[in-house]
Amino acid sequence: MARKFVSDIIGDVGETAIDALGRPIGALTDLLNYFRDGSKIASDLSDIPSAREVAGQSSLPEAGGYTSVESVQPRLLREHQSQGVLSNETVPPEQINIGALRGKTLMSIVGDPTGRHTVTSVGGQDLPEPVASLAGFQYIDVPGQGYAGAKSATNNKLNEALRTEDPYYTSVLMAEQSGDFAMHTGELFGQMFRNAPIASKDILKIDEIIRNIGMPVKIKVRNADGSVVKNAKGEDKLVGRTVRPFTDFPSVKNPDAVLNYIRNLPTGTQRAYFLKGLDRATLQKLGVPRVGDARLAVADAQQIGMDWGTTGYRGFVPDLEKGALPTTTQNSTTYDTGIDKIGRSQSFLEGSRGIPANLLFRDNAALRREADTGGNLVLSPTGDYKVLESSPKKAKQLVDDQLIDIVSTFTELERRGGRRASLQYAQELLSSGKITAQMIDAARKANIPSWMLAAMVPSLGAISAIPEGDGI
């Protein structure tokens, strides 16, 4: 079953089978070996608009968000090559439609775009040691696993699920650089650095830049007597500061220094800011590898180019009876606590490039629009996303007939009319107030030609079944 899945994606995501020497093979004797061709992925993405583009906001070239170096963003993906071995642990998700979830309560689980595979080479150079990427949402595809996170966050979500009727965990994609938190991204960059052509004359300069990498923190404001200042709500008043936690970095004179340092950083937050600090043009000119290539190499190929905040890629019924379980290093090298699933992982994208989170989490989006803190096609970082990430009680959505109708229209429109048409439809629905039957009907008419609408009718929920004026 896993091998069928691999054969299904080869050629669709810029990956082809290779032999043990890294040469393409026609017989496909081992479908688990892959070669990731970024130029093919970029070509496939070139005609697919982003949510930001449709919303009239500035957007980056294909997968440009995997680096912060502006001069590299237009070409990073097209220049990227990596290869390795796909996981033999994963079982492909069951493909369902949103209607199969009628009556369930969706609960948001956020995750980075990294995949479950082992990287052996980046940019044509074999890594000194292979690196196992232990996944974002492909983690769900491994039998005996569902979702993993920090102990407190995992337990909070689990406790809310225990209070919820028929809970269902569904993925919400984090941004392109969110995988910097994961140990495997840092491990891969460290292995790449061991191959880096660093000139002796540049060592001191590189060391200085690394030791001066900053990290933002929030600290409590204190009075002269040392007491904490309170704000109008009675909460501790915080102020932003930049600290420099990497002043103890040894030296790149030792090619292993970066890898060893990353391995010993105490938190994922520090790993993330360390990598972000290394992602700069000055260092690349001095021979330091591109962090963007490390991010692309550990990424799930199917999620490259997906919009931040897309949903539906993975979902599962959490096993509430088992409760929270400790992870092992074979499960995850980043998170210590997980929860298992009942049955297989599932996907309800139906060929879509992802359902906008605010379209799926309809009720929360309406509240955000009412409060003018988000709820639109493109997520608000402080309004929408923070709720989906860290507010299990608020980040819930009942799958009712209206939601089925909304999402079915989106996925069917994308299948028949393309990504732009489906995003324009979503934009119409998320432009104001609570979603009503009239709004759905108007959005359809605005974005679906009559000939297409007629062809789609059998596939869509019956709009007439929803009372006129019925809101959320």
Residues 93-139: tens digit of each pLDDT: 999 999 999 999 999 999 999 999 999 999 999 999 999 998 789 99
Amino acid at 60: L
Q: Is residue 410 part of a domain?
A: no
> CB atoms < 10 A from the CB of 71, how many?
10
Q: Can you give the three-state secondary structure of the chain, one letter per residue?
A: CHHHHHHHHCCCCCEECECCCCCECCCCCCCCEEEEEHHHHHHHHCCCCCHHHHCCCCCCCCCHHHCCCCCCCCCHHHHCEEEEEECCCCCCCEECCHHHHCCCEEEEEEECCECEEEEEEECCEEEEEEEEEECCHHHHHCCCCCEEECHHHHHHHHHHHHCCCCEEEEEEECCCCHHHHCHHHHHHHHHHHHCCCCCHHHHHHHHHHHHCCCEEEEEECECCCCCECECCCCCECEEEEEECCCCCCCCCCCCCHHHHHHHHCCCHHHHHHHHHHHCCHHHHHCCCCCHHHHHHHHECHHHCCCCCCEEEEEEEEECCCCCEEECCCCCCCCCCEEECEEEEEEECCCCCCCEEHHHHCHHHHHHHHHCCCCCCCCCCHHHHHHHHHHCCCCCEEECCHHHHHHHHHHHHHHHHHCHHHHHHHHHHHCCCCCCCHHHHHHHHHHHCCHHHHHHHHHHCCCHHHCCCCCCC
Write out the two tokens for 53: 């583009």
Place of tokens 């992982």: 345
Q: Residue 43 class from Cβ within 10 Å (0-12 exposed, 13-18 middle, 19+ buried)? A: middle
Q: What pLDDT is recorded for position 453?
A: 60
| Domain end among 347, 364, 399 | 399
CA of 136: how far to CAs of 269, 299, 323, in Å? Answer: 17, 9, 20
Does residue 283 sit in the same domain as residue 312?
no
* Residue owning tokens 């000119």: 285
Instruction: Give the pLDDT confidence score for residue 253 in this predicted structure.
Output: 97
Residues 58, 121, single domain; the answer is yes
Which one of 262, 288, 314 terminates a domain? 288
Residue 111 sits in the same domain as residue 212 = no
Domain shared by 168 and 200, yes or no: no
Residues 161 and 16 in one domain: yes
379, 410 in Cβ contact below 8 A? no
Q: Are residues 233 and 269 in the same domain?
A: yes
Last residue of one domain, picked from the residues 399, 415, 436: 399
437 falls in which pLDDT band (50, 70, 90)? confident
> What is the mean pLDDT of the segment spanning 329-346?
86
Determine the residue type at 264: N
When the pLDDT of each residue in the chain is averaged and rounded to a whole number, the result is 88
**Does some domain include residue 434?**
no
Torsional sign, CA 59, 60, 61, 62: negative
Residue 214 sits in the same domain as residue 140: no
Q: Is residue 449 part of a domain?
A: no
Q: Are 279 and 385 in a shared domain? A: no
User: Which whole number is the average pLDDT over 22-35?
Assistant: 59
The CA-atom distances, in angstroms, between 193 and each of 370, 415, 471 are: 49, 42, 55
Same domain for 337 and 241, yes or no, is: no
Any idea of the CA torsion for 414, 302, 389, 316, to the nearest 10 degrees? Answer: 90
Q: Has residue 3 got a pLDDT over 60?
A: no
Residues 49 and 423: beta-carbon distance below 8 Å: yes
- With cut-offs at 50, 70 and 90, classify the pLDDT of residue 234: confident
pLDDT at 112: 94
Dump pLDDT digits (tens) for 398-436. 999 999 999 999 999 999 889 999 999 999 999 988 888
- What is residue 153's predicted lDDT score, i.e. its pLDDT? 87
**Residue 41 in tokens:** 């992925």
Domain that holds residue 327: 2-183+300-399
Asked whether residue 167 is domain-assigned, the answer is yes
Q: What's this model's pTM, rounded to 2 decimal places?
A: 0.88
Same-domain check for residues 21 and 108: yes
Query: How far apart are the C-alpha atoms of 47 and 269, rounded to whole Å?
Result: 35
Residue 268 in any domain: the answer is: yes
Whether the CB-CB separation of 354 and 307 falls below 8 Å is answered with: yes
Residue 457 located in a structural domain: no
Report yes or no on 408 lying in a domain: no
CB-based contacts of 452, cutoff 8 Å, min separation 6: 413, 416, 417
Note whether 122 and 257 are same-domain residues: no
Which residues touch 390 (CB under 8 Å, ≥6 apart)? 153
Q: Average of pLDDT values for 247-260?
A: 98
Check whether residue 12 and residue 79 sit in a common domain: yes
What pLDDT, on the 0 to 100 scale, is given for residue 308? 95
Q: Report whether pLDDT(469) > 50.
A: no
Confidence category of residue 14, pLDDT binned at 50, 70, 90: low
On whether residue 357 sits in a domain, the answer given is: yes
Residue 25 token pair: 């093979």
At 329 the pLDDT is: 78
The total domain count for the chain is 2
Q: How confident is the model at residue 29 (pLDDT cuts 50, 70, 90)?
A: very low
Asked whether the beta carbons of 274 and 246 are under 8 A apart, the reply is yes
